[in-house]
Structure 1
């Protein structure tokens, strides 16, 4: 008879569990997501810390060492100009990941802003959603090509050859990939507006700006985080496609897509030149997609509560 009150007291005294610990436990139970996160961390460490160990200039030309296979001096071999493929892979990974992360950030800012404004202010909903539908209806690749051809020279003169094309590609990918985020955020905001805590805050005269920053945005972080992971993968693929078409970075400024494009002429003689950048793109995108799947499941309260 005396044990029951003690058990009840212990249960009452148990501290509430942190929501982010539940998210981490659910994410950790997703083996694919955990493996994807570990591999993506390895890729980041390799491309940003690898050049500190493998200190070979990726632009150095050594005609005497051209078209060599894998060796101790050149683990990934050399290209037609004698440049070290491993050094170019590491340098190209820095550019590709920088483009992916920066373009993803721009896309999230645009998508979140438009989604919140459309969901919270009903008078803006129609116009912003029609704008979103218009961008969704446009053919992506031809639009990218037109924008690049129109503004490439102007940005090169303003930011330099490499800086101009970097700014242009990030801008082009960012303004053509925000639509899904905007639609998802808008739907969540419409649902949140009918919640009791939002209605209570509105009844005491909370300004719209404070309502959005304190009550709306913190509750739409889940879809934003999932969109962020998927946006990185889409940006890397888009940059690779543009570089593969010869409209991205110049050949002396390597990216994974550019390396793939430069290797297609030597596919039959040196197939490994295509394998390395293609494998890097595929595995990076696959790991990021697995991370997105894990985050989606971890942030879903219906799955987390099981």
Structure 2
């Protein structure tokens, strides 16, 4: 019996067709470091989101009599200099730190992608936008970040409230100083894509540039954008932690990981765990996101997927 005459297997007949993302996932699963990073990152997300529902302790509750206590049944990770539960503060602080990483990454990704597409597709805009990118790359970013936060912090806090104003100021300040690498990567891919046959054909029939970029160009630069997104989260978390450690991040009643690390610096010799726990969470988050980015870079590379 020939292959054409063989009856179809019912399971194969109703199996949904595989697409590119199934191939990406199959390749991603072969990267052990990326899988381990994904497991660690998911565990941290569950720790900061589900943890406060289980450990229902107010992170701002003061108990001076129990200050600087070691681990116990009542305080599994001990207390700080004001008697506040360190475990609860790490859980709630993780929400803020991870939220800053996600929002700042998204804003930086939007800015970098927009500038990269404009510079790569429109020749007249290429030179000025790339010179702007080079200018931002040449600037000392941490001092610029400190200046932005110091100048606009009080104004935004009075306008939108301290919590919302400071949150979006820090996210925007991180995004405005971290979009350059994404812009350069996207620009390079767009320069190659705009000479492809399907893009030239669309331009020849009068398709608007906006439609060409949204339908034909952007879907084909998602791979580097996704990799930049994962690395951007790690960078934003480190930057927010650095700002909080320098005292220019969130106010003291917002227990971000960087703020907890900052508050424990004076007690590092007597109570080293005060800085070990927030430092460990920051390191694990950044390391896991970097491994996820490495796995995505390999999985989205067609040369590796084709092996």
- What are the equivalent positions in structure 2 for 1:261-280 lying under 5 Å apart? 261-280=262-281
Partner Cα separation in structure 2 for residue 51 and residue 159 of structure 1: 27
Partner Cα separation in structure 1 for residue 35 and residue 236 of structure 2: 22
TM-score norm. by structure 2 comes to 0.95
- What are the equivalent positions in structure 2 for 1:11-160 lying under 5 Å apart? 17-160=18-161
- What are the equivalent positions in structure 2 for 1:228-247 lying under 5 Å apart? 228-247=229-248
Aligned to 2:283: 282
- Cα deviation, 1:200-240, whole Å, max 9, x if unaligned, reads 21122211111011000110100110000000000000000
Shift of 1:161: 2.0
Partner Cα separation in structure 1 for residue 202 and residue 35 of structure 2: 39
- What are the equivalent positions in structure 2 for 1:184-203 lying under 5 Å apart? 184-203=185-204
Partner Cα separation in structure 2 for residue 200 and residue 144 of structure 1: 44
- Please give the secondary structure, in 1, of the residue aligned with 2:81: coil
* Shift >4 Å, 4+ stretches: 2-7, 13-16
Partner Cα separation in structure 2 for residue 243 and residue 5 of structure 1: 68
Partner Cα separation in structure 1 for residue 296 and residue 135 of structure 2: 29
- Please give the secondary structure, in 2, of the residue aligned with 1:194: coil
Partner Cα separation in structure 2 for residue 16 and residue 249 of structure 1: 49
Shift of 1:3: 4.7
Shift of 1:5: 6.4
When residues 121 and 15 of structure 1 are mapped into structure 2, their CA distance, relative to the original with a 3 A threshold, is same
Unaligned runs of 5+ in 1: none
User: Aligned-residue CA RMSD in angstroms?
Assistant: 1.7
Partner Cα separation in structure 2 for residue 111 and residue 273 of structure 1: 37
Aligned to 2:226: 225
TM-score norm. by structure 1 comes to 0.95
Shift of 1:159: 1.8
Range with bigger deviation, 192-201 or 115-124:
192-201
Unaligned runs of 5+ in 2: none
- Cα deviation, 1:26-78, whole Å, max 9, x if unaligned, reads 00110111111111111111101111111100000001111110111111100
When residues 250 and 15 of structure 1 are mapped into structure 2, their CA distance, relative to the original with a 3 A threshold, is closer
Shift of 1:198: 1.0
